[in-house]
Structure 1
């Protein structure tokens, strides 16, 4: 018997990114495998209401964006970028996942620190003149 962890599969409207189905995560001791899109359309009544070609999906790894899903008000998939966006403050104000926002802020901070260091070095050279 093997331990299986399956991440979420998010089904959404390909035209506007509206959530159709979040399968949730799965953990267990069995031979569970990732189902195909066609199998999911047979298994989940929510999907059978839609035309299969109009619905797209994203597979997430187990635990991916776990904190975002627990703290957000809602989420959607951006139809242009095909990435999940979360609403944290207002249900219709979607943003990048917090973890991505934090990474961007860290990167900006590092760039700012490098600019400060470069300016300090230039200032030291000017003082020597």
Structure 2
């Protein structure tokens, strides 16, 4: 069984408190928020009402976590956002953004639909 990581964060600010490890094992078992808060030292002492958890798919955003400078959970959307190191010419004070993994996926989908539309248009114009 493959179990993805869980991101525990403050509901009000989106500050990430702890990320559990992902697990791949035939004996892996999903745990509840209450079980995690009793097990992980980093979560002990927090009021469960003040924390929320975002469950990620196995291997989801692995590359984003590796290259990001920081990350947080947007309290309004409850989605993870990353701050990536600035490249030459970029704003030296980058803002959080959707994971690059998701951005690439969206661009691929848009490219595929643009190509399909162009092929359909070419087909119509060559038949005229």
**TM-score bin, normalised by smaller chain:** 0.7 to 0.9
Give the structure 2 partner of residue 96 of structure 1: 98
TM-score, structure 2 as length reference: 0.76
RMSD of aligned C-alpha atoms? 2.6
Contact 2:5–2:21, Cα closer than 8 Å, also in 1: yes
Alpha-carbon deviation of 1:57?
A: 0.3
Q: Return the match for 1:76 from 44, 54, 72.
A: 72
Q: What residue in structure 2 maps to residue 51 of structure 1?
A: 47
Structure 1, unaligned runs of 5 or more? 125-129
For each residue in 1:36-58, what CA deviation from the matched residue of structure 2 results, as whole angstroms up to 9, or x when unmatched? 11111110121123110110001
Q: 2:58 aligns with which of 62, 66, 77?
A: 62
Shift of 1:33: 0.8
1:85 lines up with 2:81 in the alignment? yes
User: CA shift at 1:111, angstroms?
Assistant: 6.2
* Corresponding residue pairs, total: 122
Relative to total residues, which structure has the larger strand share, 1 or 2?
1
Of the three residues 27, 34, 39, the one matched with 2:30 is 34
Give every structure 1 segment of 4 or more consecutive aligned residues whose post-TM-superposition deviation is greater than 3 Å.
Answer: 106-121
User: Structure 1 residues 114, 61: CA separation in 2 closer, same or farther (over 3 Å shift)?
Assistant: closer
Q: Compare CA radii of gyration and give the structure with the larger one.
A: 1
- Aligned to 2:25, the other structure's residue is in SS state strand
Q: After superposition, what is the alpha-carbon deviation per residue over 1:43-93, rounded to whole angstroms, capped at 9, x for unaligned?
A: 012112311011000111111112111221221111111111111126863
TM-score, normalization by structure 1: 0.75
